[in-house]
Structure 1
Amino acid sequence: MTVPEHPLRVVLVEDSVLLREGLIRLFDEAGYVTAGAFGDAEDILERVRDARADVAILDVRLPPSFRDEGIRAALQLRAEAPDIGILVLSQYVEGVYARELLAGGEGGVGYLLKDRVTSLEEFTDAVRRVQEGGTVLDPLVVRQLLAARPDPLSALTPRERDVIELMAEGCSNATIAARLFIGVGAVEKNVSSIFQKFGLEESGSDHRRVLAVLAFLQRS
């Protein structure tokens, strides 16, 4: 594998030694630099800045209480170091925290479930997409967030709901077209309709997709 001219720098926060070492090897094979690997989130902001990290990957439940240290650290990074991509790994869907993590309205964030990461290539691609400002959500996270709000927006057609759910997973228009067996033009038409229904006017920003997903998940 060809190593990029400027390798992506990752800080990993995971208390399981075996998983931590496995991810370090995976990143090395992908051409990424593990600039820091820790078993807790203490002084996370300083650690990430000292490492000149592009992406911070954090488990949700970390020492000392194994409750929400990791996700709170992720929220701190989102607030104080918004230029750094955040990828949360968890065995659980923490709905309240997931919404708060997404609440900024911008990309560079992901939430994946450990047990459902089945492809190493897809995982390293998810890290890259987060670093590039994308949003990556496990489909189960999306479904549980939606389940908490039975009818988020009655204005959406069934096809638009299918499209925006895949948008929430971080899929491109081409990927959505392939998943739904429709043309890319049809996807673009549905995306434009979704933007219009949410009142998201063209602004030259790449974040309208994220804002649309947030509106879908958060509006009742």
Structure 2
Amino acid sequence: MRILICEDSALLREGLVRLLDDSGHTVVAALPDAARLSETVAETSPELCILDVRLPPTWTDEGIRAALALRAERPDLPLLVLSQYVEERYASELISAKGAALGYLLKDRVADIADFLDAIARIGGGATVLDPEVVAQLLSRRTRDERMLRLTDRESSVLSLIAEGRSNQAIAKALFISEGSVEKHVTSLFQKLDLEQDESGNRRVLAALAHLEHGGTRPQTDLGGAAPQTGASR
């Protein structure tokens, strides 16, 4: 996969270049800031862009603004945003923006190389991959939306795992239930949340989080100690 990196930390930037190169990907550019991001994307035609949330010169929201601009200019370009910690407002803005595959991971997940490379592959393949901590914070806000109260504990657990980008098979494995049971829970929870059922994993995650971004009770998910399949922090 052709990948463009926009990360101000030289250590992390070069580390990502080495990791991706060694994994068979091609890093077409590695930028320290977003000053020439749009032009470089046009020149190099990447298949995935990895961006830091906070970039020079102010280290506030340059990266997220650059990501949103790319979303508007090139909605079919998959994006992976890396953040030191969960930025709920930024995550919500990206999730709400229309576009192709999306990843939002905390930077400490990069240390788990296998999971990080798996997330890269999934995003490049069209999936939405959100860090479990992002999902937890978005869904743990106190809600005034009575729809969340309609869900059973099991349905809330399934919704949380859907939002992390997990397949029905992965959800079944994490919750120790059958895939048939997962399908029934998915159908039920989308009906209760007044969401149109959609077989596209990307769209169903975006729809669920767009509807729930203003709140939701934290799901009682028991993963039995299993490691999340998504995840990077600065």
State TM-score, norm by structure 1: 0.89
Q: How many angstroms apart in 2 are the aligned matches of 1:52 and 1:106?
A: 17
Match of 1:214 in 2: 210
Q: Which residue, 16, 19, 27 being the options, matches 1:34?
A: 27
1:149–1:51 distance in 2 versus 1, CA, 3 Å:
farther
Return the offset for 1:151.
6.1
Match of 1:123 in 2: 116
Decide whether the 8 Å contact of 2:141 with 2:215 is kept in 1.
no
Match of 2:195 in 1: 200
Q: How many angstroms apart in 2 are the aligned matches of 1:186 and 1:106?
A: 31
Q: Could you give the per-residue CA deviations for residues 142-176 of structure 1, whole angstroms, max 9, x where no partner exists? A: 11112233465111111111011111111111111
SS at match of 2:196: coil
Q: Which stretches of structure 1, 4 residues or more, deviate above 6 A after TM superposition?
A: none
> 1:45-84 residue pairs with structure 2 within 5 A?
45-84=38-77
Query: Which letter maps to 1:171?
Result: R
Decide whether the 8 Å contact of 1:149 with 1:217 is kept in 2.
no
Using the aligned pairs only, state the percent identity: 50
RMSD, matched Cα: 1.9
Give the length in aligned residue pairs.
Answer: 213
Q: Does 1:172 align with 2:161?
A: no
Decide whether the 8 Å contact of 1:84 with 1:131 is kept in 2.
no
Q: How many angstroms apart in 1 are the aligned matches of 2:41 and 2:181?
A: 42
Q: Could you give the per-residue CA deviations for residues 63-93 of structure 1, whole angstroms, max 9, x where no partner exists? A: 1111111111111111221111110111021
Q: Which residue, 179, 185, 195 being the options, matches 1:184?
A: 179
Q: Which residue, 150, 153, 157 being the options, matches 2:152?
A: 157
Match of 1:44 in 2: 37
Q: How many angstroms apart in 1 are the aligned matches of 2:58 and 2:81?
A: 18
Unaligned runs of 5+ in 2: 217-234
SS at match of 2:150: coil
Q: Which residue, 78, 85, 88 being the options, matches 1:95?
A: 88
Unaligned runs of 5+ in 1: 1-7
Decide whether the 8 Å contact of 1:105 with 1:211 is kept in 2.
no
- Greater relative CO, 1 or 2 (CA 8 Å, sep 6+): 2
Q: How many angstroms apart in 2 are the aligned matches of 1:104 and 1:97?
A: 11
Q: Could you give the per-residue CA deviations for residues 9-35 of structure 1, whole angstroms, max 9, x where no partner exists? A: 100001111111111111112211101
Q: Could you give the per-residue CA deviations for residues 86-133 of structure 1, whole angstroms, max 9, x where no partner exists? A: 101110211111001000365500110112333212111111211222
Q: Does 1:138 align with 2:131?
A: yes
Query: Which letter maps to 1:191?
Result: V
Query: Which letter maps to 1:49?
Result: A
Decide whether the 8 Å contact of 1:200 with 1:212 is kept in 2.
yes
Residues 75-84 or 195-204, more deviating: 195-204
Q: How many angstroms apart in 1 are the aligned matches of 2:155 and 2:100?
A: 21
Q: Which residue, 10, 16, 41 being the options, matches 1:17?
A: 10
Q: How many angstroms apart in 2 are the aligned matches of 1:175 and 1:128?
A: 16
